[in-house]
Amino acid sequence: MAKEILFGAVPAVLIFMMFLGINIGPFLLFGAVLAGILFFFSRQTGMGGFKTRSKAGKHAVVKTDVQFSDIGGQERAKRELKEALDFLIHKDSLEKYGIRPIKGVLLTGPPGTGKTLMAKAAANYTNSAFVAASGSQFVEMYVGVGAQRVRDLFREVKQLAERNGQDSGIIFIDEIDVIGGKRDGQQQREYDQTLNQLLTEMDGITTSDNPRILLIAATNRKDMLDSALLRPGRFDRHISVDLPDKKARIQILKIHTANKPLASDVNVERIAQETFGFSGAQLESVANEAAIYAMREGAEKITGQHFELAVDKVMMGEKSDREASDEEKRRVALHELGHAIVSERVRPGSVSQVTLSPRGQALGYVRQNPMEDRYLYTKEALEKQIMVCLGGAVAEEIYFGGRSTGSKNDFEQALSMAQEIVQSGMSELGIVHLQYIDKTQVHEEVNRILEDLVERTRKLLQAHDEVFAGSLRILWDQEVLSGDSFRDMLKKIQPVEELAV
């Protein structure tokens, strides 16, 4: 802003001086020299370029001490990445055998799974200079700026490696999909130029380069990438970095609790069990939030209870002060109990806690204990899960005579699982291809599955009046009902044989 005012004001002052009859020649000369000096320094120091974390240049030059052992789980991804990195380390052998160098490694996977950590560990493992940038940093209003930044990135990592006496450099580009998205040949000129420049720079990498450059890019939208980026000789090593399984979650939690004072009741395995679907970043957050709860209380050590609260916070968001009416609270409580009763009946031991207090967007919630990580689902398993989803709405129907908007998300989940049943050839339609079958037929089949399961859920819940009443009393008074007390209540009711799922 200041720049623009200056550019406007200077000519105005000069014209005014001319009117007054002052010779402006010396001022013009001085201005030209000053502008030259400023331009020179701006190129040297990266003014107006990327956010700089070191003096080395415009990009985030990161001194990294991350080791592969600091990354929990991801064993396959780490092994595959190390294999690719060996090409960087043993470059003499490559030349001997005439092997083309690996130029790019693409890490794909959901956010927070450790892709950036992997790139940093790679730099450490190979003793390479490391420069990081994010795809969105290349997007500028002006055509050509992105391409210039790509050139700068390569120049910078080479300079850095030379300065540090390293014979390789790693460039990490996060969110590569921002610049590497599919080209449609129209409008997107700026993106195209940036991508073309990246491809040109990659094509220029040869086995005899010193320092040797390797690009590591990360995305969670691999399907969006232009095929030119993915072809052999470019990003031709694809490594998927997935959400951690239970074993990996234990490792990640151990890494992030290693520097924290834990009480003896903290059971890392149990926390890992309860955090199914969490990414590494979320697990790090759980450890951190638990420590914050302990600090707030002035506790000597971090206890299991602190971890429980932290898991809830990361899963559902911070407690909110939304005050619901008694009528609404009762509806929420019965809705959640509907989920909980079905869950416990179809998978005994699965309810960890029922809560009636507003957190994030929810007014209440059931925390479930996933039994194990699963990758394949049978029809029966999917039906059970659908019933758990429907339990909330069905409970509302039983006690209030109708549903509410609170079931929208539940229905979305139930619908997508019912569609999964149809698409996997497990419905009465048999094996079908969605392209060759009438949409209404699919719709009707999905509806039939859901209606059938609503009926089964209703029968199941109608036999649990006592549990609803007893649990509601506890939730009303204490806001929280533990899985164990809930199970004690359920034990008193023997499920009628034909209702047991």
Instruction: Give the interface with ligand ATP as residue ranges (CB under 6 A).
Output: 71-74, 111-117, 174, 218, 220, 252, 255, 280-281, 284
Q: Give SS3 for 351.
A: strand
Task: Name the residue among 366, 357, 361, 322 with its Cα closest to residue 476.
Answer: 357
Helix crossing, 326-346 with 483-491: angle to 10°? Answer: 70
In contact, 335 and 406? CB cutoff 8 Å: yes
Least separation in angstroms between residue 197's CB and ligand ATP is: 23
User: E strands within 298-451?
Assistant: 351-355, 365-368
Least separation in angstroms between residue 278's CB and ligand ATP is: 10
- Select 64 or 368, whichever has its Cβ closest to ligand ATP: 64
- Select 115 or 359, whichever has its Cβ closest to ligand ATP: 115
Phi/psi of residue 169, nearest 5 degrees? -140, 145
- Select 120 or 212, whichever has its Cβ closest to ligand ATP: 120
Residue whose token pair is 């294999």: 83
In contact, 145 and 179? CB cutoff 8 Å: no
Least separation in angstroms between residue 71's CB and ligand ATP is: 4
Task: Name the residue among 202, 199, 217 with its Cα closest to residue 100.
Answer: 202
- Select 61 or 241, whichever has its Cβ closest to ligand ATP: 241
**Cα of 130 vs its chain's centroid, Å:** 23
Least separation in angstroms between residue 249's CB and ligand ATP is: 9
- Select 195 or 243, whichever has its Cβ closest to ligand ATP: 243
User: E strands within 27-154?
Assistant: 60-61, 104-108, 129-134
Report the C-alpha gap between 466 and 479 in whole angstroms: 19
- In the residue annotation, 336 being an active-site residue is answered as yes
Beta strands across the sheet bearing 480-482? 365-368, 351-355, 480-482
- Select 279 or 407, whichever has its Cβ closest to ligand ATP: 279
Least separation in angstroms between residue 238's CB and ligand ATP is: 15
For 360, counting Cβ atoms within 10 Å of its Cβ (0-12 exposed, 13-18 middle, 19+ buried), the class is: middle
Residue whose token pair is 């390293």: 166
Given the residues 201, 289, 336, 445, select the one marked as catalytic. 336
Query: What is the per-residue DSSP string for 22-39?
Result: ---HHHHHHHHHHHHHHH
| Total number of residues shown for the chain | 501
Report the C-alpha gap between 406 and 70 in whole angstroms: 41
By Cβ distance, which residue is nearest to ligand ATP?
280
Least separation in angstroms between residue 373's CB and ligand ATP is: 15
Residue whose token pair is 């060996």: 86
Least separation in angstroms between residue 112's CB and ligand ATP is: 5
State which H helix or E strand residue 279 sits in.
none
* 69 Cβ contact partners less than 8 Å away, ≥ 6 residues apart: none
Report the C-alpha gap between 475 and 334 in whole angstroms: 10
- Select 135 or 169, whichever has its Cβ closest to ligand ATP: 135
DSSP-derived secondary structure letter, 48 = T
Identify residue 453 by its one-letter amino acid code.
Answer: L
- Select 122 or 489, whichever has its Cβ closest to ligand ATP: 122
Least separation in angstroms between residue 115's CB and ligand ATP is: 3
Report the C-alpha gap between 246 and 283 in whole angstroms: 12
DSSP-derived secondary structure letter, 242 = P
- Select 77 or 442, whichever has its Cβ closest to ligand ATP: 77
Least separation in angstroms between residue 466's CB and ligand ATP is: 45
Q: Looking at the annotation, which residues are catalytic?
A: 336
